[in-house]
Amino acid sequence: MEINKILSIEFGITQPHTDNIISLIDEGCTIPFIARYRKEMTGSCDDQVLRAFDDRLKYLRNLSKRKSEVYSLIVEQGKMTDEISDALNRAQTMTEVEDIYRPFKPKRKTRASVAIAKGLQGLADIILAQSGKDLRECAKQFLTDEVKSVEEALQGASDIVAETISDNAELRKELRETLYKKGEIATKLKGDSEQAKVYEMYDNYHSPISKTPHHRVLAINRGEREDCLKVSLELDPQIAYQIISKKFIKKNSPYKELLDTIVEDSYKRLIFSSIETEIRNERTDKANEQAIKMFEVNLRPLLMQPPLKDKVILGLDPAYRTGCKIAVIDKNGAVLDTTVIYPTPPQNKIEEAEAKISRLVDKDKVDVISIGNGTATKESEIFVAHLLPKLSRPVSYAVVNEAGASVYSASKLGASEFPDYDVALRSAVSIARRLQDPLSELIKIDVKSIGVGQYQHDMPQARLTEVLEGVVEDCVNSVGVDLNTASPSLLNYVAGLNSSISKNIVKWRDENGKFTNRKQLLKVSKLGDKAYEQCAGFLRISDGDNILDNTAVHPESYDVVDRLLKYFNLTTKDIGGEKFATLPSLIESVGIEKVAQTINVGVPTLQDIVTELGKPGRDIRDSLPKPVLKSELLDISDLKEGMVLDGVVRNVVDFGVFVDIGVHQDGLVHISEISKDYIKHPSEVLKVGDKVTVKVIGVDLNKKRISLTIKGVI
């Protein structure tokens, strides 16, 4: 089946739309551009579907390429048959293709290859044919200087038959499926070291291969890699012997006893270890993809947290011995003041710290304190919570995820932004800015260091980076970027731009002043027509020549806007005003299909244009729940079973969600405690940033574990 047809069926997309998507990708169009500005061509597929489509397209093309390579390699050996050709055409995975190629693949020296070199292939053929001839008599015909006895001849022939069985593609596929469906993962603890004790739950652990949760597969792999666990797959060998015998041993075979021995040898020596490796790799690949998916699920809402606009923020980077670093930023993110305080052990200079913070709050008119959630956060949060009632103006605080702040602080980007600050002070600035504008600040950090999900260091790093950077790209482009204030690091994520062009945009801006219209982008070095097509709609100019430049309307649709306005006797001066607010109802009265046809535009594009013109310069994040600001603090020791608290989801994993309930230590809502209804995964119900009401159902002070439930909580 053609790749286009396969994709159409798998994604439930019409054939014309499938063909269009492939053409757009091949033309070099970016996913954000296709998702936003080519909806008529794609059936309005969103960016997540398009990325999955692109991934699958790449896989199928690589599969097709490998099929062609294998076909050519077998043809070169003069061994191609209609049966092999049909099998290659039917193959749906790389593993199946490699199974077909296996008998023809040049092998290192094996027992079978040695026996073939000694001229024993003919005897092996006799055994496989099961004709009833006396094997010992047949074997005598193959005796040579290298094969000196009947026993040696039969052993060599048996080795050839064992490898022939092992190389059978259909058999390997059936055995692999059987092991996956009926086999178990078995683990055993190695040693009693402190590191090994982490994996105590996996001592003498057995779980069906097909039902072992992804996060446990990754945990088992890590335990094995750290030499704490012995891991194997188990299957009753009799099940495998029966499958092989049915395929290779004829009913009432005269050589059954010998073939039974060969079948057992083939399975134990040649087949099992390789299909065990294949299945473990397959389970690992799926677990990795699921873990990467969880990073994607968690990262998107984290990046899309609403900015805390028009607030002066004091960033506090907690620490013990070296003191807490402080940075105050104004409403635009510029640094106003920096200092260091020592309210935490071992110094415990609380009064001095309170005086310093109080002075900064009064001097800079601080509205919010942003506390990083790293080392000494608990003590820092207690200090801040006790300080707030003493301040001369109302101030609240929030604890923000500081993952990756140290990476940014020590990076070239951090050094270039704040060359006069030490690493710790840069972290304090970053912590403040993360509350002020999470997206703009978090994109400065290596996406793998943002710290959402699980087992990030165990993932295939190239794949993890590819997926997470795709999420960042989608978020940045869905929000839009101010062309006159964006940093090169933010511009770099705009569709169609790269690091070099982003730097050139800033350079042009520095040399020529603010951009006043989008067309000026074409004057930027290395930014050609294709890059302009891809990026223009995602770049905003808030006070330019054309109000449309402050919307997500693409320049290619400006003439559509003109026709739309003329149709309803409106002008560009009406955009965003009270008169313009009646446009949706006017369109509805005429009929959106008729309006679209009259002004020669697709319905999806018309709908997007109307939405954008209604609120020029709008930030889609403003409609999302605002950050939770606090003014008081609980301690884990204050928690009692049955307490009902409000919290915020901080992380979603396969087995549940972690919720910040204001006690420094996040509580776990196990998947079984999320909903009264059955759910396959926590992400079906919750995402990072969601506000939830939870009930405490367990507190372990020694292990600092908090168990929560959402079920039945009003």
Q: What is the pLDDT of residues 13-34, one digit of tens each?
A: 999 999 999 999 999 999 999 9
Q: CA-CA distance, 353 to 387, in Å (whole number)?
A: 10
Alpha helix (H) residue ranges in 77-131: 82-90, 94-101, 111-117, 121-129
3-state secondary structure string across 451-494: CCCCCHHHCCHHHHHHHHHHHHHHHHHHHCEECCCCCHHHHCCC
What kind of fold does domain 479-623 have according to CATH? DNA polymerase; domain 1 (1.10.150)
Report whether pLDDT(50) > 70: yes
Residue intervals of the chain classified under CATH 1.10.150.310 are 479-623
Report whether pLDDT(526) > 70: yes
Determine the pLDDT at residue 634. Answer: 66
User: With pLDDT > 70 as the criterion, what percentage of the chain qualifies?
Assistant: 97
Determine the pLDDT at residue 714. Answer: 62
Nearby residues of 540 by Cβ (< 8 Å), 6 or more positions away: 480, 481, 482, 483, 549, 550, 551, 617
Determine the pLDDT at residue 365. Answer: 97
Instruction: Please write the tens of the pLDDT for every residue from 70-101.
Output: 999 999 999 999 999 999 999 999 999 999 99
- pLDDT band, residue 291 (cuts 50/70/90): confident
H/E element holding 207? strand 205-208
- pLDDT band, residue 633 (cuts 50/70/90): low
- pLDDT band, residue 617 (cuts 50/70/90): confident
Residue intervals of the chain classified under CATH 3.30.420.140 are 313-452
Give the side-chain half-sphere CA count within 13 A for 594: 7
Of the candidates 340, 339, 387, 393, the one whose C-alpha atom is nearest the C-alpha of residue 366 is 393
Determine the pLDDT at residue 330. Answer: 95
Mean pLDDT of 416-444: 88
Determine the pLDDT at residue 194. Answer: 81
Determine the pLDDT at residue 10. Answer: 96
Mean pLDDT of 709-713: 87
Residue intervals of the chain classified under CATH 2.40.50.140 are 636-709
- This prediction's pTM: 0.81
Q: Please give the span between the terminal C-alpha atoms of the chain, in angstroms, as a whole number.
A: 53
Query: CATH classification of 636-709 is 3.40.630.10, yes or no?
Result: no
Only one residue has tokens 């027509």, namely 529
Mean pLDDT of the chain: 91
Mean pLDDT of 180-205: 91
Query: CATH classification of 313-452 is 3.30.420.140, yes or no?
Result: yes
Q: Higher-confidence residue: 622 or 30?
A: 30
Residues in the chain: 714
Contact status, residue 564 vs residue 609, Cβ threshold 8 Å:
yes
Cβ burial 552-571 (10 Å sphere, 16+ → b, else e): bbbbebeebbeebbeeeebe
Helix, strand or coil, per DSSP, at residue 111: helix
What kind of fold does domain 3-104 have according to CATH? Arc Repressor Mutant, subunit A (1.10.10)
Q: CA-CA distance, 332 to 432, in Å (whole number)?
A: 11
- pLDDT band, residue 295 (cuts 50/70/90): confident
Instruction: Please write the tens of the pLDDT for every residue from 442-493.
Output: 888 877 777 666 666 778 888 888 888 899 999 999 999 999 989 898 999 9
Helix, strand or coil, per DSSP, at residue 581: helix
Report whether pLDDT(632) > 90: no
Q: Higher-confidence residue: 664 or 343?
A: 343
Mean pLDDT of 225-254: 95
Determine the pLDDT at residue 108. Answer: 85
